[in-house]
Amino acid sequence: MNRFLVLFGVILTMALAAPAFAAPPLPIGGRTLAGPASTSLVASATETIAAGLSGNAICASVANTGSAAVQLTITGGATSVLTIPIRKTLTLCNDDPATASLLCMAIGTGTCKATWRIDDL
Question: At 100, which amino acid appears?
Answer: A
Helix%, strand%, coil% for the chain, nearest 5: 15, 50, 35
Q: What is the pLDDT of residue 2?
A: 43
Cα 16 from Cα 28, distance rounded (Å): 28
Burial readout 83-107 (b: 16 or more C-beta within 10 A, e: otherwise): ebeeeebeebebebbbbbbbbbbbe
Q: Tens of pLDDT along the chain (121 residues)? A: 444 333 344 344 444 444 444 444 677 778 889 889 999 999 999 999 999 987 789 999 999 999 999 999 999 989 999 999 999 999 999 999 999 999 999 999 999 999 999 999 8
Report the pLDDT value the prediction gives residue 12, as an integer from 0 to 100: 40
pLDDT of residue 25: 67
- Give pLDDT, residue 79: 95
What is the amino acid identity at position 6? V
- pLDDT at position 64, please? 97
Q: Mapping DSSP to helix (H, G, I), strand (E, B) and coil, where does residue 93 land?
A: strand
Alpha helices in 22-118 (DSSP H): none
DSSP state of 66: S
Residue 55 is predicted with a pLDDT of 78
